[in-house]
Amino acid sequence: MAVVDFSRKFVYAFQHEKGVLLVRIRLTRLGARNNPTYRVVAIDSRRARDSQYLEALGHYDPRRKVLKLNLERVDYWLSKGAQPSNTVDRLIKRYRKTIPAPAQEGEPEIITQTESAN
């Protein structure tokens, strides 16, 4: 992995068979006119918006407010130095708030009891 000074930011680059690969996590547009849906993808930062991507990480429908992400793969790409776009960064933070955190090993599960109507 190489470090490249790209517009005064340090961006981690991946060695690829075609050279250095600068990876971003961003949206690619799908859907019809006036009915946009987006796919969250890991893509080389020099590629066009709707061009070939490395991996699809989820999808987002802004009209129905539906967001689905594979956080395991998102975390993988972030750990490798991929930079999310501003919009995707907000979507990831929003998605992390909506899903429940997994219980740690050794930690008891918290079970709430509802009142019975006896």
Q: How many independent structural domains does the chain possess?
A: 1
**pTM, 2 dp:** 0.68
In a domain, 107, yes or no: no
Residue 18 binned pLDDT confidence (cut-offs 50, 70, 90): low
In a domain, 56, yes or no: yes
What angle (nearest 5°) sits at the alpha carbon of residue 90, between those of residues 56 and 71?
A: 40
pLDDT for 70-114, tens place per residue?
Answer: 999 999 999 988 999 999 999 999 999 988 766 666 665 555 555
pLDDT at position 113 is 57
pLDDT at position 99 is 82
Residue 52 binned pLDDT confidence (cut-offs 50, 70, 90): confident
List all residues 6 or more positions away from 58 whose beta carbon is below 8 Å from its beta carbon: 39, 40, 67, 68, 69, 70, 74
CATH of the domain at 63: 3.30.1320.10
DSSP code of residue 88:
H
In a domain, 59, yes or no: yes
CA atoms within 13 A on the CB side of 97: 6
Asked whether the predicted pLDDT for residue 38 surpasses 70, the reply is yes
* Full domain range(s) for residue 50: 23-98
